[in-house]
Amino acid sequence: MYLFVMFFILLIERTKDLYMLVELVLMRRGSIVVRGYKHLDPYGAIQPPIYLAALFRMEGEAQRSDRGLDLKYSREDNPTLRPFEEVVAKLESGVDALAFNSGMAAISAVFMARLAGGDVVYVPMEAYGATLRLLDSLGKFGVKVVRGFPDTEPFIEGIKAARPRLVFFETISNPTLRVLDLPEVVKAAKDLGAEVVVDNTFATPLLITPLEHGADLVVHSVTKYLAGHNDVVGGVVVAKSREQVEELWLWRAMLGGIMQPWEAYLAFRGVKTLVVRFERQCRSAMAIAEYLADHSKVSEVLYPGLPTSPYYHVARRLFGDKFGAVVSFRVKGGRDAVLKFFKSLRLITPGPSLGGVESIATYPIASAASPIPDEDKRRLGITEDLVRLSVGLEDPEDLIEDLDQALRST
């Protein structure tokens, strides 16, 4: 009788677990960001707790985490990270995710795990400056970097010529907001046996999920839209196979790049509002792009949502009716006019980064794009008149008024 009761209890618990898993699979993204995790607190807490433990009980062998990996030391894993990792993995249609203490820590682990001496990496000449600098630094280990122009046809031709081990690119380039035809690029790389890693930070999984188009890994700077409040530095890698997760988990542990519990808690809290934040930010960005396109002090607006953009049709096909929340534009008058523009802003904050609730204006040539060689910057149009605007959650009319008065001061 006892065995029957225990079997019945276990069956109920197993059924509840399976039911929960089915619910998670069937959830839409608006529900995933809020409830797309399996954690059940033994005390009934609605929010998963923060585990500030440096180490965990170990009776002979190490305990196993929910994904079957060691849970003995917080450099290797920590339960606080798991709800955030589960949510991001589901958003990106991956099997699991690993959270890191910065976007660069995440990218570093990917390169260390997947590259060896003699390998060729193919990247666009326009990418986040720290990523390009890291790749160049890997040359001392025998890794060769080949850069291609970030338009679909020349980029694919470059893949065919380079025959790389790994292709790395961003879904929306920084800061000129080019959009490569992701499925075509992935196909070209796969035809040659290359792995594909996509930085989906600018687009977020709300615009596109690269794994569903054949990419092998997706990385994000959690600092940007996923956490979304300009108060967290973090990164995440989403994998499509269990083997990838285990390999990257080992590299995260060896390099010591794991996200810390407090940052994981904030990132988990932040991602819950991703859908409502990003949809509003995209709408505001479109309104601002349309306004700037007719402004007398603006010579060009770079935004894939404008029908005049050379990337509009591919962005429309890949992203649908939203085109991201970053708008880049050129100020007439060059560097002097741009510096006057920054000094005149009242509501928008001049500074680095993007993706937060506060709108931030950035001077790319002096920040993220500075490691790009000067010749490449000229070819890409990253010039002294270029401004990148990350649109936040302020009223778009207030943002437009601030942009207008700052532009008219130039």
- Indicate which residues carry an active-site annotation: 75, 128, 199, 224
- Give residues with Cβ within 8 angstroms of 109, minimum separation 6: 98, 100, 237, 248, 251, 252, 255, 257
Task: Indicate the burial class of 246 (C-beta count within 10 angstroms; 0-12, 13-18, 19 or more).
Answer: middle
The two most distant CA atoms of the chain are separated, in Å, by 86
* Per-position DSSP letters for 39-80, written without gaps between them: ---TT--SSPPP---SB--EESEEEE-TTSSEESBTTT--GG
Rounded to 10 deg, the angle between the 182-191 and 152-162 helix axes is 10
Q: What are the distances in angstroms from CA 364 to CA 7, 192, 239, 286, 391? A: 62, 34, 30, 20, 15
CA distance 72 to 61: 9
